[in-house]
Amino acid sequence: MNLSRYKILAIAIVTFLLIASAGYAGEFSKVGTAGAQFLKIGMGARYIGMGEASSAVVDDAYSMYWNPAGMAVMEETEFAFTSVDWIEDVSLNFISFVRPMGFGGTLGLSATILGIGEMEETTVFEPNGTGNTFDASSFSISAGYARSLTDRFSAGIKMKYVSERIAQARSRGIAFDIGTLFKTGYKNLRVGLNISNLGQGLKFSGSDLNFKYSRDPDNANYDPINASYLTEEYDLPLTFRIGCAYDLVETSMSTWTIAAEAKHPNDNVQQLSLGSEYLWNSMVAMRAGYKFKYEEEGLTLGAGVILSPTQSSALVIDYAWSDFGSLDSVHRFSFGIRF
């Protein structure tokens, strides 16, 4: 890498850190206040099994979630799908499609859909229930682009449309993810940085917030007027990640990768993840990880297989188990097709 490339790298990293610091300015007192929490639920069983120490490891279609810069190192088109049976009967699905393009970059599309089953409706005047039910859902649709700027440095950006719904009240907004991936040149050490959910806050609106108001209900001379409840804007879960990955063993038959990642969310304390993956014969993988300073989560385990029905295609199947302490354990299944 020549001097000009080092300048590009230095400028990119400084810009990245300035964006991150600006996003966190004044946020340290807002623990637990960000909304759109579904954006923080990790995707891809491979990376969950490694304790989510992913920003320097990701090199497949799940780059659209963990670090868009990872798309730049992909050589094959990939379609990926993850299904999650989340806690308290919440369902979560993620789909991603990434394609390297001939003009030197990589394009990606993804969608995340969260569904919550029917719940009993209660009001201030009927706290025991009205007899009616309602449901809630959240989703995001994303488009991303990544490119290798040098033989060691890649950058990526993703734009996402985010929407949440509770009964007939909705919030909508646009957010961005920005990531970089750097091969240090020291053996196979990689460093990844990512800032996700960078954007303005969301605010609920909709017909469920409308009501009839009368300043004197007992006086027939006052007709009720149309009114609406005012809602406050809430922050997106802005998150900054920096991670590294290193292959302790790399032979023709096996690869043993270790990874570490520090995470700084705007609505929680700083967190740390450690992960490891052993890949045998480019076909069978075993994984383990641990997450520190997470409220309930800790140990993670996982496994995967890569099947190659033809020389030009592969089927990837991954599974991950996550310990959630006093809550039920969470199981994730992921599927991918490379061609």
Confidence of residue 27 (pLDDT cuts 50, 70, 90): very low
Compute the distance between CA of residue 292 and CA of residue 147 in angstroms, rounded to an integer.
32
Confidence of residue 295 (pLDDT cuts 50, 70, 90): confident
Mean pLDDT of 219-248: 85
Mean pLDDT of 67-92: 90
C-alpha dihedral (59, 63, 66, 70), degrees to nearest 10: 50
194-205 in b/e form (b: 16+ CB < 10 A) is bbbbbbeebebe
Q: What is the DSSP string of 266-301?
A: TTS--EEEEEEEEEETTTEEEEEEEEES-SS--EEE
- For residue 158, give every residue at least 6 positions away whose Cβ sits within 8 Å of its Cβ, in sequence order, or none: 64, 68, 108, 142, 143, 144, 145, 176, 177, 178, 179
Mean pLDDT of 79-89: 86
- Checking if the pLDDT of 219 tops 80, the result is no
CB 81 within 8 A of CB 335: yes
- Checking if the pLDDT of 11 tops 70, the result is no
Confidence of residue 256 (pLDDT cuts 50, 70, 90): very high
- Checking if the pLDDT of 123 tops 80, the result is no
- Checking if the pLDDT of 71 tops 90, the result is yes
CA 305 to chain centre: 23
CA 139 to chain centre: 12
Predicted pLDDT of residue 28: 47
Amino acid in position 16: F
Please name which of 175, 235, 182 lies closest in space to residue 199, comparing C-alpha atoms.
Answer: 175
CB 181 within 8 A of CB 43: no
Predicted pLDDT of residue 182: 95
Q: What are the chain's domains?
A: 3-214+237-338 (2.40.160.60)
Is pTM, for the whole model, over 0.85?
Answer: no
Compute the distance between CA of residue 153 and CA of residue 242 in angstroms, rounded to an integer.
15
Mean pLDDT of 94-105: 90
Mean pLDDT of 2-21: 52
Mean pLDDT of 272-298: 92
pLDDT, averaged across the chain? 86
Predicted pLDDT of residue 32: 63
Mean pLDDT of 85-95: 84
Residue 310 backbone dihedrals phi, psi, to 5 degrees: -135, 170
Predicted pLDDT of residue 31: 63
pLDDT in tens, 127-173: 888 888 888 889 999 999 999 998 899 999 999 999 999 888 889 99
Predicted pLDDT of residue 180: 96
- Checking if the pLDDT of 12 tops 70, the result is no
